[in-house]
Amino acid sequence: MESKNDTTVTALDVSALKAHLALNVESVEQSIIFYRKMFGIEPSKVRTGYAKFDVQNPPLNFTLNKGSFAARGALSHLGIQVRSTADVLATRQKWDEAGLLTRDEMQTNCCYATQDKTWVRDPDGNEWEVFVASMSKVFPDRPIVDIPNSDPIFHTVYDLDERLQVPGWQWYRSGLTYEKGPTGKPEHWRAIYDDKGRIMVAICHNMDLGDAWEWSDDPRYPEKWAGLAYRIAVNYFIYDLTH
């Protein structure tokens, strides 16, 4: 039976102020040093085993909580989306000047989008990215979708029904065919199509064909990856000339 005092609350009825993010950390003191540099502000509250940053841009209630943990668990990474590549570069410069170690990924394929981004890592290994989805600026109304095996781009010269993940040279040092994530990320073959079903942008997601071409003459880089990278390039080039 419904109470007379029951009311229906929708998302439009809620006046949200900011998101809240709480991280468990090994050392609150060391994390304060890092996040003071990253956010460029002082913590608004510090207690034993606890600190809070009241971040205004972007609006974020961010807290550090001392706690024991074996690993980062389900957390993949954290990020802040900005309006332009210039904002990404400005943030990187700010972090560099604050003494943080940054890592750039420009025109990288991530989350079904092409992005420009820079990264930093906190004392507990949590990675933060500042990014802009640059492909959305070029084709704002075009989705990025998976390429089906039957698409002509896989059959212009070579039949590429059986494709492999093509790792970058970091594989030689790490033994991993992927670059991020505790369990790896599978390869994806994605594209942006025009109204006639032709591929305008082909995206080899979570791969590094450029490294495969660059290191193809090195006997330490397996031929199965270098050879596939060249066959992909030939198919894509002929597709571009004929479609």
Q: What does the radius of gyration of the chain's CA atoms come to, in whole angstroms? A: 23
Segment 23-29 mean pLDDT: 91
For β-strands 19-25 and 127-133, DSSP reports them as unpaired
Sign of the dihedral through C-alpha 72, 24, 34, 82: positive
Hey, what domains does the chain have and what are their CATH numbers?
A: 13-67 (3.10.180.10), 76-137 (3.10.180.10), 145-242 (no CATH)
pLDDT band at 11 (very low <50, low <70, confident <90, very high): very low
Whether pLDDT at 109 is above 50: yes
> What's the pLDDT tens digit per position in 31-77?
999 999 999 999 999 999 999 999 998 899 999 999 876 665 557 67
In this prediction, residue 137 has a pLDDT band, given cuts at 50, 70 and 90, of low
Higher-pLDDT residue of 7, 147:
147
At which residue do the structure tokens 């460029």 appear?
A: 40
Q: Which two tokens stand for residue 84?
A: 């332009």
Percentage of the chain beyond pLDDT 90 is 47
What is the pLDDT, as a whole number, of residue 180? 59
- Measured CA to CA, the distance from residue 5 to residue 64 in angstroms comes to 38
More reliable by pLDDT, 222 or 205:
222
| Mean pLDDT, residues 219-238 | 95
- The candidate with the shortest Cα–Cα distance to 53, out of 29, 32, 73, 28, is 32
Copy the structure tokens of residue 233.
Answer: 């390039």
Which residue, among 61, 174, 62, 80, has the nearest Cα to 119 in the 3D structure? Answer: 80
